[in-house]
Amino acid sequence: MNKLSVLLVAAALLSPLPARAQQLDLATVTCKDFISSDKETIGLILMWLEGYYSEENAKPIVNFDKMKVDGGKLGEYCGKNPGHSLITAADEVLGN
């Protein structure tokens, strides 16, 4: 349920974006793509990743401080490894 809620919020946030951004396959996004994205896209991706990597029964709380710290770690990793996939980077930085 937690992951579904995050996906629904992300879908609602993405709906007003232009047609070119209606779908993003994170399996194909590289670290270079991620760090060169606009702030809004980075924020949406981070929000999705925080939900994806949270525990299944976690309370439905958005911890912006944790997201900022995790985003910094992800940005640092991606800066050093621009050719890695974003999911590989997220597994390394956010995975348990």
Q: What is the dihedral of CA 14, 16, 20, 23, to 10 degrees?
A: 20
Write the pLDDT tens digit of every residue in 11-51: 555 554 445 557 888 889 999 999 999 999 999 999 999 99
How crowded is the C-beta side of 10, counted as CA atoms within 13 Å?
23
pTM for the full predicted model: 0.72
How many domains does the chain divide into? 1
Backbone angles phi, psi at 25, to 5 degrees: -85, 100
- CATH code of residue 46: 1.10.890
Q: Provide the residue range defining the domain that includes 28.
A: 2-94
**How many Cβ atoms sit within 10 Å of the Cβ of residue 48?**
20
Confidence of residue 85 (pLDDT cuts 50, 70, 90): very high
